[in-house]
Amino acid sequence: MALKAEIVSIGSELVSGQNLDTNAPWLSRALGELGIATAYHTSIGDDMADHVAAFRIAADRADLVLTTGGLGPTQDDLVREALAGAAGVGLREDPDSLAAIAALFGRRNRPMADRNRLQAMLPEGAEALPNPIGTAPGVWMSIGRAAFASMPGVPNEMKVMFADQVVPRLRLRHWVERVIVHRKIALFGKGESDIEAEALDLTARGHVPEVGITASDSTISFRIRGEGLTLEAAWAQTEETAGLIRRRFGPLVLGEGAVDVADALVEQLKRAGATMATAESCTGGIVAHLVTAIAGVSPYYLGGVVSYSNRAKTDMLGVPAGLIEAHGAVSAEVAAAMAVGARERFGTDLAVSTTGVAGPGGGTPEKPVGLVYLGLATADGVETRRVEIGPEQPRGIIQRRSAKQALDMARVALLARPDRGVSP
Amino acid sequence: MALKAEIVSIGSELVSGQNLDTNAPWLSRALGELGIATAYHTSIGDDMADHVAAFRIAADRADLVLTTGGLGPTQDDLVREALAGAAGVGLREDPDSLAAIAALFGRRNRPMADRNRLQAMLPEGAEALPNPIGTAPGVWMSIGRAAFASMPGVPNEMKVMFADQVVPRLRLRHWVERVIVHRKIALFGKGESDIEAEALDLTARGHVPEVGITASDSTISFRIRGEGLTLEAAWAQTEETAGLIRRRFGPLVLGEGAVDVADALVEQLKRAGATMATAESCTGGIVAHLVTAIAGVSPYYLGGVVSYSNRAKTDMLGVPAGLIEAHGAVSAEVAAAMAVGARERFGTDLAVSTTGVAGPGGGTPEKPVGLVYLGLATADGVETRRVEIGPEQPRGIIQRRSAKQALDMARVALLARPDRGVSP
C-alpha cells in the first residue's frame, strides 16, 4: 500500500491568516519528488490540547507526519511536550542537543538563556535532529504506527533539516528508493500553446522522461523529469530530450534553469563583446531597468533615454518632428528613428526602442491600447516589429511584455555574431 | 465561551503542494475581522473517506466549519456527498439550485451538461447558498453541534458567497454583532523604528482605537482598527487618531490606503501643475519606471536619461567630464549636475537624479556598495542628498530604495507649492 503523509503546520499566525504557510506546500512537493503522497495538511495555533489532539489524529491516519514550527524556547512552543503527551511518554534532557545549543551561543558570543535549555528536552525514545543553523533541534520519533519528524518553522532551517536528517531516515526505512530531478529549459519568443503544439510528441502521456510546459511572465519553460537510483542516472535520463528541445527550438532557447530574456541578452552582449542602448516611450524605463538589474552589465549597457514626450523624442533622440507629425508617435517610423537616434547618441553597437499605447486610456480604433512598435538599430540598419499585447491587458503587463520583446529582438540579433568578448 | 472555527480546503492540488492555499488565510482574516477565531486549517485531497473523516473531526472540535472547493460537476467533486455521509443523511435535488444553474447556462448561451445537474443535489436538511457568478451553489447545514458552510474553491466565487450568504447567517445566529474596519495611513521618509518611537502613545497596548505599524518596500503604514455596531460607527472611531497622525507626521504622510511614494508624487505633480524629468545612473531606469507605471502621468513626466556610462552623463546630460574626473561619477557634484542637466534638456520644472554603487561589486572604502547620491533641481537651484542603503543589501533593494528616496525629494519639494493644475 502506498505511504500516506500528513504535514502539520504550527503557529497562531497561520490559523489567524496573518502568515501564509509556504512550508507545507514545499514539503508536499519535496515528498512528491521522493514518491511519497501527502494526504493531509493541518494547521493549528499555540494551544496544547489542540497539539495533542492533532498529533493523535495524524498518528492514526498517516504513516509519516512532518510538523513545522513550535520548537522555539518560548512558552508558545509546545511541540516537544505535545509529542510526549500524544505518545504517552515523559520528557528527558538530551545532552548532545544541550551541548550543540551551548556551542551555537558560544560561536555567536552570546550567553545562553535558561529557557534555551528547554530546547534540549526530548520525548523518551525520540532522537534529536541536529540543526546546524539555528538553536532548535528537531525531533524524530514514532507515535503509534506513524513516524514523526518535527522541524523548525523557519523555512531555511526546515529545508536543511529535511534534506540532511529526514530524507536519509526515510531511505533507511526503504520509504524512498529513487532520485527524481527536474531539468528546466527556458524559451522566449512564442506563446505557450504554439510551443506546446510543436512538442506534442514530448508532452504526450507516457513519454519517458515526462515533459511538462509552464509559462511565467512570457517565458515558457520545458520541465523534464528524470528518475533513477542515483542523481547521475536521474540526470542522464533527461539528456536526450534536453538536446532534442535545444535543437528543435534553436534561437527561442534562453538557457537552462530560471533564466530570463534579460539574462540571456546580457550573456550574448558579453559573448559578442557588444554594447547597447535603449530608447523607450511606452515602456517608460522598464527595458533599461530589466538590463541594469543584472550585475556587471555596465561595460555593455551604456545608457538610454525615456522619451515620454514628443519633444524628448526630438530633442534627446533626434527624431524629426515632421516624422512624428506624419505618422504619429506610435508608429514603425518613429520606433525606427528612436532606435537609430539612441544608437548614434550613445555610440553603441545596437539600440532597441519602444513606442506604443500602454493604456488604459489613449487608444483609438487604428492604434488600440496594447499596440506597441519595437525598433532595433545595428550597424546593418534598422528593423521594426509591431506587437499587440491586447487592449484588455493592464498597463503594467503591456509595458512589461513589450519591453521583454524589445530585449529579445536584440538577443536574437546577437546570436548570429561571432565571439568577441568575455565568454559567459 | 469563544467560538472556534475550522477551515477545510479541498483539492489534491493543495495537498500535493502544486497550488498555494490562499482561501484559508483569507477566510481566517475575514473571520478575525468579525471577532471569530480560527483554530484549525485542514487540507485534504479528492478522496471520499478522507472527506467524511475530516468533516467528522471538524464537527467534533469546531463550532463553525467553512469548506472551500469540491463543489464542481466532476467525479472529483465529493463535498455534497461527503457532507451527507458525515451527517448520516441522504441527498435530494434542490429545484431552486437547478433552476439557477440552468439560467446561468442560458445566459451564457450554452447547453447545460447532465453532470451539472449533480451540482443541484443537497444533503437532506441543508440550505443552498446561491452563487451569482458560478455554477456551483454552496451548502449551509448542521453536522452535530457545528454549522457548516461549504463554498466553491474559486476565490472570487468564495469571497462573494462568504460576504453575501455566510456572514448574514452568522449575524442571524448572533455570532457576529460588531463591525470592524482597518484604516491605513501610509508614510515615507523615515524608518519604521523612528516612526514607531514617535508614536509610542498610539501603539501602546490598550490604546483605543488599536494602532499598529507595518513596513513594506520602504513605505510605513499605520493601521487603525475601528469597531462599532455599524460601519459608520466603526469608521468614526478611527477619525481622531487618523487626524492626529496626519498632523504629527505632516510631510511624511503619503495618503490613505495602499498609496506609494510614486502615487503621492504624481498627485502632487497634478495638483501643482508641474512637469518633471529624471536622470539615473545606478537606479538604471527604476525611477522612470515607477513614475510611468501610473496611468495618466504623461502631461507631467516628460522623460529621462539612463546615463549608465560616464560618456552618457557628459553627452546626454551635459555633465562636465572634468567634474566626473575630479569627484568621481558617484558624488554629490555629479548628482547635482545630472539633475540640472536633465531639467534643462527636458525643459521641466524639476528633475531628480541618482548616482551610486548598486553592487555587488564596485565598492571602495570611501564609496561602499549601497552609497547613493540623489539630486533635485528646481527653479530655485539644486540640492543633493547622500544615502547609504547598506553594503549587505542586494542590488535590487539598493536600486529600488534609492529610487524611491529620489521620488520623495521631488514629492516633498512640491508640497510647498500652490495649486496650479488639475486637482487630484
Q: What is the ipTM metric for this complex?
A: 0.77
Q: Angle at which helices A395-415 and A261-272 pack, to 10 degrees?
A: 30
B262 touches A: beta carbon within 8 Å? no
DSSP-derived secondary structure for A117-149:
HGGGEEETT-EEE--TTSS--EEEEEETTEEEE
Least confident of A204-218, A369-383, B46-60, B334-348: A204-218
Residue numbers in B near A15 (CB within 8 A): 28, 37-41
Residue A207, Cα to own-chain centre: how many angstroms? 26
Is the per-residue pLDDT at A424 higher than 50?
Answer: no
Nearest CB to A312 within list B19, B44, B303: B303
Averaged pLDDT, A217-238: 90
Is the per-residue pLDDT at A105 higher than 90?
Answer: no
Residue numbers in A near B278 (CB within 8 A): 285, 306
Residue B16 to residue B20: CA distance in whole angstroms: 10
Is the per-residue pLDDT at B86 higher than 80?
Answer: yes
Give the minimum alpha-carbon distance from B96 to chain A in angstroms, rounded to a whole number.
Answer: 34
B278: nearest CA partner in chain A? A306
Pick from B413, B405, B402, B411: nearest CA to B281: B402
State the pTM of this model: 0.78
Q: Tell me whether residues A16 and B22 touch, CB distance under 8 A.
A: no
pLDDT at residue B106, rounded to an integer: 86
Kindly list the distances between the CA atom of residue B288 and the CA atoms of A101, B303, B316, B350, in Å, as whole numbers in the listed order. 49, 8, 16, 14
Is the per-residue pLDDT at A88 higher than 60?
Answer: yes
pLDDT by residue (tens digit) across A326-358? 999 999 999 999 999 999 999 999 999 999 999
The alpha-carbon radius of gyration of chain A (Å, integer) is: 29
User: What type of residue is B359?
Assistant: G
Residue B78 to residue B49: CA distance in whole angstroms: 10
Q: Are A29 and A5 in contact (CB under 8 A)?
A: no
Count of CB atoms within 10 A of residue A36's CB? 18
B57 touches A: beta carbon within 8 Å? yes
pLDDT by residue (tens digit) across B170-200? 999 989 888 888 899 999 999 888 899 999 9
Averaged pLDDT, A123-128: 96
Is the per-residue pLDDT at B422 higher than 70?
Answer: no
Residue B321 to residue B328: CA distance in whole angstroms: 10
Residue A77 to residue A71: CA distance in whole angstroms: 5
Q: Which three three-digit cell numbers place residue B176?
A: 457576529
Q: Tell me whether residues A311 and B305 touch, CB distance under 8 A.
A: no
pLDDT at residue A214, rounded to an integer: 84
Least confident of A45-49, A83-87, A230-234: A230-234
Is the per-residue pLDDT at B154 higher than 60?
Answer: yes
Count of CB atoms within 10 A of residue A16's CB? 18
A305 touches B: beta carbon within 8 Å? yes
Is the per-residue pLDDT at A423 higher than 70?
Answer: no
Residue B269 to residue B317: CA distance in whole angstroms: 23
Residue numbers in A near B38 (CB within 8 A): 15-17
B344 touches A: beta carbon within 8 Å? no
Averaged pLDDT, B204-208: 88
Q: Tell me whether residues B47 and A39 touch, CB distance under 8 A.
A: yes
- Phi first, then psi, for residue A119 (nearest 5°) are -70, -10
Give the minimum alpha-carbon distance from B44 to chain A in angstroms, rounded to a whole number.
Answer: 5
A-interface mutation test, from B33, B223, B289, B300, most A Cβ less than 10 A away = B289
Q: Which three three-digit cell numbers place residue A60?
A: 492514526
Count of CB atoms within 10 A of residue A318's CB? 14
Burial letters B131-146, b for 16+ CB under 10 A, else e: beebbbbbbbbebeeb
Beta bridge partners of A384: A375
Question: What percentage of chain B carries pLDDT values higher than 70?
Answer: 99
Residue A395 to residue A401: CA distance in whole angstroms: 10
Cβ within 8 Å of residue A307, ≥6 positions away: A279, A280, A281, A313, A316, A317, A319, A338, B303
- Phi first, then psi, for residue A137 (nearest 5°) are -70, 155
Place of cell 454583532: B177
pLDDT by residue (tens digit) across B267-284? 999 999 999 999 999 999
Q: Which three three-digit cell numbers place residue B327?
A: 569627484
The alpha-carbon radius of gyration of chain B (Å, integer) is: 29
Q: Angle at which helices A48-61 and B48-61 pack, to 10 degrees?
A: 160
Q: Tell me whether residues A17 and B32 touch, CB distance under 8 A.
A: yes
Q: Tell me whether residues B292 and A306 touch, CB distance under 8 A.
A: yes
HSE at residue B259, side-chain half, CA atoms within 13 A, is 20
pLDDT at residue B274, rounded to an integer: 97
> Is the four-CA dihedral B216, B222, B228, B234 of positive or negative sign?
negative
Kindly list the distances between the CA atom of residue B423 and the CA atoms of B24, B78, B420, in Å, as whole numbers in the listed order. 41, 55, 8
For B391, the 3-state DSSP assignment is coil
Higher pLDDT, B72 or B304: B304
For B8, the 3-state DSSP assignment is strand
Pick from A48, A77, A49, A53: nearest CA to A153: A77
Count of CB atoms within 10 A of residue B2's CB? 8
For A:189-218, CB contacts with B below 8 A are none
Residue B396, Cα to own-chain centre: how many angstroms? 20
DSSP element (H, E) containing A98: helix A95-107
pLDDT by residue (tens digit) across A250-290? 999 999 988 999 999 999 999 999 999 999 999 999 999 99
Averaged pLDDT, B279-303: 97
User: What type of residue is A211?
Assistant: V
Q: Which three three-digit cell numbers place residue B306?
A: 539612463
Q: Angle at which helices B261-272 and B395-415 pack, to 10 degrees?
A: 30
Nearest CB to B309 within list A303, A309, A361: A303
Cβ within 8 Å of residue A14, ≥6 positions away: A21, A43, A45, A69, B25, B41
Q: Are B131 and B157 in contact (CB under 8 A)?
A: yes
Nearest CB to B20 within list A20, A291, A303: A20
pLDDT at residue B34, rounded to an integer: 86
Nearest CB to A284 within list B25, B57, B292: B292
B155 touches A: beta carbon within 8 Å? no
pLDDT at residue B342, rounded to an integer: 98
Question: What percentage of chain A carries pLDDT values higher than 90?
Answer: 79
A396 touches B: beta carbon within 8 Å? yes
Q: What is the mean pLDDT of chain A?
A: 93
pLDDT at residue B14, rounded to an integer: 94
Q: What is the mean pLDDT of chain B?
A: 93
Q: Please, which pLDDT band fits residue B164 given cuts at 50, 70 and 90?
A: very high
DSSP-derived secondary structure for A29-73:
HHHHHTT-EEEEEEEE-S-HHHHHHHHHHHHHH-SEEEEES--SS
HSE at residue A233, side-chain half, CA atoms within 13 A, is 7
A8: nearest CA partner in chain B? B42
Averaged pLDDT, A369-375: 97
Give the minimum alpha-carbon distance from B384 to chain A in angstroms, rounded to a whole number.
Answer: 22
Residue B317 to residue B380: CA distance in whole angstroms: 19
B5: nearest CA partner in chain A? A15
Place of cell 558570543: A109
DSSP state of A113: P
pLDDT by residue (tens digit) across A25-84? 999 999 988 889 999 999 999 999 999 999 999 999 999 999 999 998 888 899 999 999
Length of chain A: 424
For B:26-55, CB contacts with A below 8 A are 26-30, 32, 37-45, 47, 50, 53-54
Is the per-residue pLDDT at B264 higher than 70?
Answer: yes
HSE at residue A375, side-chain half, CA atoms within 13 A, is 29
**Cα dihedral angle (B388, B394, B395, B400), rounded to 10 degrees?**
-70
DSSP element (H, E) containing A270: helix A261-272
B346: nearest CA partner in chain A? A312
pLDDT at residue B369, rounded to an integer: 95
Nearest CB to A15 within list B20, B40, B278: B40
Q: Please, which pLDDT band fits residue A134 given cuts at 50, 70 and 90?
A: confident
Q: Are A233 and A379 in contact (CB under 8 A)?
A: no
User: Strand B350-356 vs strand B276-280: parallel, antiparallel, or unpaired?
Assistant: parallel
Is the per-residue pLDDT at A392 higher than 70?
Answer: yes
